[in-house]
A = this chain, B = another copy of it.
Amino acid sequence: MAVSRRGVDVAELVRRATDAEPRAVARLISLVENDSPVLREVAAALAPYGGHAQVVGLTGSPGVGKSTSTSAIVTALRANGQRVGVLAVDPSSPFSGGALLGDRVRMQDHATDPDVFIRSMASRGQLGGLSAAVPQALRVLDAARCDVVLVETVGVGQSETAVSNMVDVFVVVGIPGAGDELQGIKRGLLELADVIAVNKADGDQVERANRAAMEYRTALHILAAGNPNWSPVVLTVSARDNAGLDELWTRVEERHSALEASGALHARRAEQGVAWMREIFEQRLLAAFKGGKDVSRRWSEMAEKVRSGEMTPTAAAEKLGRLAGIGEG
């Protein structure tokens, strides 16, 4: 049956997506993002097309020049004739969707390029929602024969950890700080990195950026001594002057090739699939209950009572459990 009982012709949409038709790609991402009832059908129809794209994550604090870097990388990849997808994941934003990110001015360079797909995904505060939707959006872009998909996420929460588990190679962007230190790489982010880019190595900041990169290399060299499988590369770039991004991409590809050659990439993607299965199952289960009017209405109230010490976490959880219809009355 070509047309699902809900009136969406998934097979036709997927066929058009594999022809890289932008509207079909956008529609499919909307379907998976909204956890549409046709999701299973979409996933099954996409399954034969997976595994082609290099999936690269890119993160950093606000202000380090992530979007400029992403845009410059896209330009370089396009000059190479590669088709590119960009997923901008922002767990703090209440907005989502749309084929173009209106607020990301620099991305507009690529807005009219039919071989660049740009998509914003927001979690509406639900990190788990992203963990289920982003991998599916990646598969849509993969099926649309993107050679590279960049997943850009703002380094302010737990989303980096989640995203680092969905990609092949993870790039962290920082900038030289007031001294020679590196800013924009917060605690917990460093050890997820495969490649660390010190951005804003331009104008009178070149020396500072070089010193920050050098110090980071030294520090990472020491720290990596006991961790044979961890040796992130540090390099300086200027997204503004479009300098160093070729080398950045060369490093990303080197890492990718090494993972592929060793079989680590295949194993990693297989485990990502299992983690994703677990995520979808758990999110649906939790959503089925938390989304219930009684639970969601009382959640903040219970959290506040726990904070103030008025209720124990156990009592609050049990109350929520009773509202969800589990546990004893």
Residues of B within 8 A of A278 (CB): 317
A130 to chain B, nearest CB (A): 15
Copies of the chain in the assembly: 2
State whether A43 and B187 are in contact (beta carbons under 8 Å apart), knowing that A324-B285, A326-B284 are contacts in the complex: no
Q: CB-CB < 8 A to A282: which residues of B?
A: 282, 286
Q: Mark A29-54, 1 if CB is under 8 A from B, else 0.
A: 00000000101100110110000000
> Which residue of the partner chain, among B37, B227, B277, contacts A303 with CB atoms under 8 Å?
B277
Contact A226 B303 (CB under 8 A): no
Q: Which parts of A248-299 form the interface with B (CB within 8 Å)?
A: 270-271, 273-274, 276-282, 284-286, 288-289
Q: How many residues of A contact B (CB 8 A)?
A: 70
- Nearest-Cβ distance from residue A143 to partner chain B, whole angstroms: 12
Residue A186 at the chain B interface, CB threshold 8 Å: yes
Minimal Cβ-Cβ distance residue in B for A295: B281
Task: Report the separation of the CA atoms of residues A281 and B316 in the bound assembly, to the nearest whole angstrom.
Answer: 9
Interface of A (DSSP majority class): helix
Shortest beta-carbon distance from A231 to chain B in Å: 10
Contact A281 B44 (CB under 8 A): no
Q: Contact at A306–B274, with CB atoms within 8 Å?
A: yes
Q: Which segment, of A69-77, A90-98, A173-181, faces chain B? A: A173-181
- If A39-B314, A226-B182, A312-B47 touch, whether A188 touches B187 (CB-CB below 8 Å) is no
A191 beta carbon closer than 8 Å to chain B? yes
Contact, CB under 8 Å: B313 / A276: yes
Is the beta-carbon distance between B313 and A277 smaller than 8 angstroms?
yes
Contact across chains for A274 and B307 when beta carbons are under 8 A apart = yes
Given contacts A227-B186, A274-B307, A288-B326, contact A314 B136 (CB under 8 A): yes
B274 lies within 8 A of A303 (CB): yes
- The 3 A-B residue pairs whose C-beta atoms are closest, nearest first, are A181-B225, A280-B317, A43-B314
